[in-house]
Every structure is written in structure tokens, then in C-alpha cells.
Amino acid sequence: MEEKMDASTTKFFFLAIHCLALLGPFYFNWSAFWLAVALYYVTGVGITLSFHRNLAHRSFKLPRWLEYSFAYCAVLSLQGSPIEWVSTHRIHHQFTDTWDDPHSPIKGFWYSHIGWVVDYHSRFGTPDTLEFKNVGDLKKQWYYRFIHCTYPYHSVALGILLYAGGGLPFLVWGMGVRTVFFLHITFSINSICHIWGKQVWNTGDLSRNNWLLGLLAHGEGWHNNHHAFEYSARQGLEWWEIDTTWYIIRFLEAIGLATDVKLPNEAHKKRKAFCKNSSTIQ
């Protein structure tokens, strides 16, 4: 019964948030639009910097107050709690593009894009995933346990604040349009970036670099780079590979807030390169 309720809740949420987004043209104003853009960057960078590079891969360290702040921004993207998101992503890297990968395109493009999200068995079908055994580092911290248990209520509170501050235009654009747009940008990393793009590194999987998603996903579209050096805080390894998340990490490092920032060295790059002419990080 609990399994069916969880699956039904997820499907209802996706239907509801997409329906809300469809109201965008009818409730457009410039204030609501720019609010959505601001939240797109705040919550989106929360996912890329916090959930992905900081928590899932431990690519750098932050003071606890700042780590928690970025993680909270990510929670408002409605992509899951830190414990759930990081667990799924670590499984993806453990079983990339195999049948045990939660969202590999070998199961079909639609499945890798969004079908896996509403498929309860794909995400939580085994005792290991139900218990989130691969995120013991997060489960030890009361903050992440609290966020995991209260995850949806934070976005509900944001929705109430948006409605109070700007009525339906703020709610439709700040919650609906912004959330749906970034959800599909994130899902495109799982689907498009494992089908279309360029492979620079010999990763043994289907990961690709896609410049458009590099722009829209705050640097995450350089996905072949990421699978080659998953520990790296920088994913746009060339100067022309725009990586907004890396620029923020680099700034935090420059002012002493980000430490132990990991990057691939030349030896690592040579081992992964298809040819011997791999360029160096600027």
C-alpha cells in the first residue's frame, strides 16, 4: 500500500506542476518572469553545486553553514531530498548505462528522461535503495534527515510566499514554469547527454558533452567530462566550455570558503583521452 501511495503521489505531483506551468502564458508579467529566472539560477545552482558536486561527489568542501544553505536552495527545485537525490546519482555512476542504472537510455529515451521518476520499482525497488545505504555520510547529519522527512513542505511554504507576494503570476511562474523548465533541463542530462553530443574521453559509457545543456544546466552539460572525472569540481574543462557552477566554486575558493577543490591532473587526463593531444586545464 505504501509503495502504491508513493508512486501515485509522484505521478500526481508531476501532473499538477506541469498543469500549473501551462498557465504561464495566461499569467505573464515581467516581474513574475524575472522572479522565475532568479529562482531558476538560485535553485538550479543549488542542485549542481550542492546536491551534485558537493554532496554526491565530494568535489570540494564548504563550511557547514554554507553547505546547508546551498542544499536548502536545491531542495526548492523539487527534485527530491538530498538523501534521495544523492543516493540515486551515486547508483547511476556505479552502474552507468547498464540495466541497474536508474535512468539509462538503454531502457528507452522517454524512460531515461522522465519515465524512471514515476517508476517506483526503478528508483526504490530493492532494500538497498529503500534504506539509502550508499548515503551514510548524509544520514549521519540531523539536517539532512530533517530535510528528507519534511522535503515537500518547504516548497509548499515557498508557493504560499510567492502567492502572497505576487498572486497567481508569481505562483505560476515562480513555481510552475521555473520548476518544470529546470526539471526537464536536469532530466535532459540523463537522456540527451547519453545520446547526442561529443565524446572527448574514453569513459566506457554513453555520456556525451552537449554545449546547449552546458549553458542551460549551469555547466552540467559537459557530461562526458564529468563521467571521465566524476570527482572534479570543474566540468567545463576547456576555457570555452561555459560552466557557471565552476565559476561560483572558484570564487568561493578564492575567498577561502571552498577548500579541497578537486580537479583532474594531466596523468588522469592522458589515461582517459582518446588521443594524446588532450588540452590542459587553464
* pLDDT at site 159: 97
pLDDT of 264 over the 80 cut? yes
The amino acid occupying position 17 is: I
At 117 the pLDDT is 86
52 within some domain: yes
Quote the CA–CA distance of 73 and 39 in Å, as a whole number.
Answer: 9
Has residue 239 been placed in a domain? no
The answer to the question of residue 264 being in a domain is no
CA 143 to chain centre: 19
Residue-level pLDDT at 2: 39
Look at the chain and report how many structural domains it folds into.
1
- Residue 153 included in any domain: yes
Task: Retrieve residue 70's grid coordinates.
Answer: 546551498
Q: Is residue 172 part of a domain?
A: yes
Beta bridge partners of 73: none
Number of CB atoms found within 10 A of residue 95's CB: 14
**Residue 276 reports pLDDT greater than 90:** no
Identify whether the C-beta of residue 219 lies closer than 8 Å to the C-beta of residue 45: no
What is the C-alpha to C-alpha distance for residues 159 and 163, in angstroms, rounded to an integer? 6
Question: Count H helices, E strands: the chain?
Answer: 14, 0
Q: Which grid coordinates are listed for 233? A: 569540481
112-143 pLDDT, tens digit each: 999 898 775 555 554 445 578 899 999 999 99
Provide the pLDDT for residue 202.
95
Range of the domain at 41: 2-197
pTM for the structure as a whole: 0.92
The answer to whether residue 162 sits within a structural domain is: yes
Contact between 24 and 165 under an 8 Å Cβ cutoff? The reply is no
Compute the chain's Rg from CA coordinates: 19
Q: Within a domain: residue 249?
A: no
In the DSSP assignment, the letter for residue 254 is H
The type of residue at 162 is L
Helices assigned H by DSSP within 105-241:
109-110, 120-124, 127-130, 136-139, 142-171, 178-190, 211-216, 223-228
Give the confidence band of 3 by pLDDT, cuts at 50, 70, 90: very low
How many Å apart are CA 261 and CA 277, to the nearest integer?
25
Phi, psi of 115 (to 5 degrees): -60, -35
Q: Is residue 203 part of a domain?
A: no
Between the CA of residue 96 and those of 27, 92, 203, 205, what are the distances in Å?
41, 5, 10, 7
Q: How many residues does the chain have?
A: 282
Q: What is the predicted pLDDT for the residue at 130?
A: 54
Handedness of CA 135, 252, 47, 91 (dihedral sign): negative
Residue 118: predicted pLDDT: 79
